[in-house]
Structure 1
C-alpha cells in the first residue's frame, strides 16, 4: 500500500539553509566537563598589615622607650649615690663629735691639775702638760681646734660669758680670762669657751 504522506524532496542546499545559525559552541577553556562553573582564579594575597615601614617605626619607638627608662634608672642611681654620700658624711661628723666630746672631761682634769700643781716637781708638771697637749692635738686633727685666747673681742658664737668685770687694762667687750677652753667652730663646735668679759664705760 502506498504511503499517503508526501514530503517534498530536499536538496542538500536546502538542508544547509535550514540549519540553525546560532549553534552553541563549547568553550574548551571555560568548560569544566562536569556541568559546574569553573573555580575563580585566586586573588592576589594582600601585603602584610603595616609593612616594613610600620615595623621599623614600632622598633624605633620601643628603643626610645627603653633608652628613656635607662636614663631614668641612671639618674635615680646617681641621686641614691649622692644621698648615701651625704648621709655617710653626716654619720662620720656625728661620730667624730661624740668621740671628741668624750675627751673633754679628760682635758678639763688635766687643765685643773696643771692649774693646781703649785710646787709639784717639774717632771710631773711637764708630763701632765705633754698629755694635755697631745689630747688637744688629737681634737685639732678631728676638726675641733682649741680656743682659749684672751684679749679678743667677745663673740657670742664662740664664747659663753659668765661674768663681766672691770679691768682698766682691757678694752671693753673683750675677753679678760678663759675659765674653760672651747673647741670647734661653727656647726662643728663641741662647746664655746667659758670666759669673763671686760665691762664697758
Structure 2
C-alpha cells in the first residue's frame, strides 16, 4: 500500500520565493507609511531634526540662558553697589537737615548784631567773632560730607532747587530770575536737602502815557 502523506505540504516547510517577496513588499509599504506619518506630524513639510541638530539647538538654548543669567548677575551687582554707596552717602541726610537749622540760627545771630557793635566792647566783638568761626567750621564740615549750599542769586528760577516765596516787579532782570534769597538751600550729593527760599522777578510795571491814561478813564458800556 502506497503512503500519500508526502503529497500534503507541511506547515513548517520553507516559504517559497514568491511568498518572501510578498512579505518584503508589505514591510516596504509599512516603512513608507511610517515615514509619511512622521512627516505629517510636522506642519509645513518640516522634518524631525536629527539628533545632532537637536543637540546643537539645546546647546544654543543653554548658552542663551547662561548669558542672560550672567547679565542679571552683573546688573544685580551694580545695583547692590549703587545702593550701598547711596546708603553711605545719604544716611546722614536727616541729621544734616537738622544741623542746617543750627547754621541758620548762627547766621541770624550774626546779622542781628549791630554794625560796629564790637568797637570798644571786647566781649561783644569776641562773641560775634566766635559765632562767625563756628558757622564757618559747621559749613566746612558739612561740605566735607558732600553737603553744599545752593547759590541761586541771579540765576534762573529752578523748581527743582528753589522755592518761590513772592514775585518782585523788576525791569532790570529777565522775568523768572532770582533777585532775593530769604533762606539758603542745600544739596547732599545729587539730592536736594532743602530748597532755597527766594524772591523771583517779574516784568516791571511801565508808567502809562497820557493817551493810555485817557483811554483808561473811558468805561466800556457795550456789555
Specify the TM-score bucket, using the shorter chain as the normaliser: 0.5 to 0.7
Per-residue deviation, residues 16-35 of structure 1 (Å, max 9, x unmatched): xxxxxxxxxxxxxxxxxxxx
Structure with the higher fraction of residues in helix conformation? 2
**TM-score of the pair, normalised by structure 1:** 0.55
Structure 1 counterpart of 2:201: 198
After TM superposition, the structure 1 = structure 2 runs for residues 62-81 of structure 1, keeping only pairs within 5 Å, are: 75=70, 80-81=76-77
Structure 2 counterpart of 1:127: 130
Structure 2 counterpart of 1:164: 167
Q: Contact 2:164/2:198 (CA < 8 Å) preserved in 1?
A: yes
**Alignment equivalent of 2:101, drawn from 99, 105, 123:** 105
Q: CA deviation at 1:138?
A: 2.1
Cα distance in 2, alignment partners of residues 78 and 156 from structure 1: 36
Q: CA deviation at 1:108?
A: 1.2
Looking at CA atoms only, which structure, 1 or 2, has the larger radius of gyration? 1
Q: Contact 1:100/1:142 (CA < 8 Å) preserved in 2?
A: no
Structure 1 pair 84–155 and aligned structure 2 pair: CA distance change class (3 A): closer
Q: Contact 2:93/2:188 (CA < 8 Å) preserved in 1?
A: no
> How many corresponding residue pairs?
139
Q: CA deviation at 1:79?
A: 5.3
Structure 2 counterpart of 1:138: 141
Counterpart of 2:130 in 1: which secondary structure? helix
1:92 aligns with 2:96: no
Q: Contact 2:147/2:189 (CA < 8 Å) preserved in 1?
A: no
Cα distance in 2, alignment partners of residues 81 and 153 from structure 1: 39
Q: CA deviation at 1:187?
A: 4.2
**Alignment equivalent of 1:115, drawn from 111, 135, 141:** 111
Per-residue deviation, residues 85-108 of structure 1 (Å, max 9, x unmatched): 122122113303223213111111
RMSD: 3.5
Per-residue deviation, residues 92-126 of structure 1 (Å, max 9, x unmatched): 13303223213111111111111212235332222
Unpaired stretches in structure 2, ≥5 consecutive residues: 1-58, 119-123, 205-223
Q: Contact 2:146/2:189 (CA < 8 Å) preserved in 1?
A: no
Cα distance in 1, alignment partners of residues 133 and 190 from structure 2: 29
Q: Contact 2:154/2:177 (CA < 8 Å) preserved in 1?
A: yes
